[in-house]
């Protein structure tokens, strides 16, 4: 019975799920009272760091690698970055909506500092 009371509502699960493909939703959660709920806070931080990883580090990493003359062909994969981000974001959103426990490599470690 204690587990039933702790379950987030359908609307909270939907907002938490939207934090992955739409980083502004994650920021909204963190700037409002929704951050007091541990479920919402966890997914907000994960969603924000997820966006940071894909919007800054992945394209930046591809750019730096492409600077080397023998690795310039890596830049050909850049158009695949955004569809991969979208597909993985949808996958994580579905996991968040269904309340499954999951870990995103690198991102979960960063977010863990803010969740506790």
Task: For residue range 6-41, list pLDDT tens digits in order.
Answer: 788 999 999 999 999 999 999 999 999 998 999 999
The answer, yes or no, to whether residue 111 has pLDDT greater than 80, is yes
Can you say whether the dihedral through the CA atoms of 103, 56, 70, 76 is positive or negative? positive
Token pair, residue 56, equals 């800054």
**Does residue 50 contact residue 44 with C-beta atoms inside 8 Å?**
no
Number of other CB atoms surrounding residue 35 within 10 Å: 15
Among all chains, which residue has been given the structure tokens 């949808």? 90
- Domain positions in the chain are 2-115
Token pair, residue 8, equals 């987030």
Number of other CB atoms surrounding residue 31 within 10 Å: 10
The reported pLDDT for the residue numbered 1 is 44
Query: Helices 107-115 and 38-52 meet at what angle, rounded to 10?
Result: 140
How far is residue 50 from each of residues 10, 71, 72, 103, 107, measured CA to CA in Å? 23, 26, 26, 11, 6
Q: pLDDT band for position 116 (50/70/90)?
A: low
Distance between CA atoms of 67 and 64, rounded to whole angstroms?
5
Residue-wise pLDDT tens digits, 36-57 = 999 999 999 999 999 998 888 8
Distance between CA atoms of 84 and 62, rounded to whole angstroms?
14
């Amino acid at each position: 019975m204690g587990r039933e009371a702790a379950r987030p509502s359908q609307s909270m699960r939907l907002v938490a799920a939207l934090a992955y493909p739409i980083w502004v939703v994650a920021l909204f959660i963190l700037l409002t009272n929704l951050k007091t709920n541990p479920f919402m806070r966890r997914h907000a931080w994960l969603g924000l760091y997820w966006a940071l990883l894909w919007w800054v580090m992945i394209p930046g990493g591809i750019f730096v690698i492409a600077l080397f003359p023998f690795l310039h062909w890596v830049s050909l994969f850049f158009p695949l970055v955004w569809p991969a981000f979208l597909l993985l974001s949808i996958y994580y959103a579905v996991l968040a909506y269904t309340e499954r426990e999951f870990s995103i490599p690198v991102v979960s470690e960063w977010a863990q500092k803010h969740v506790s």
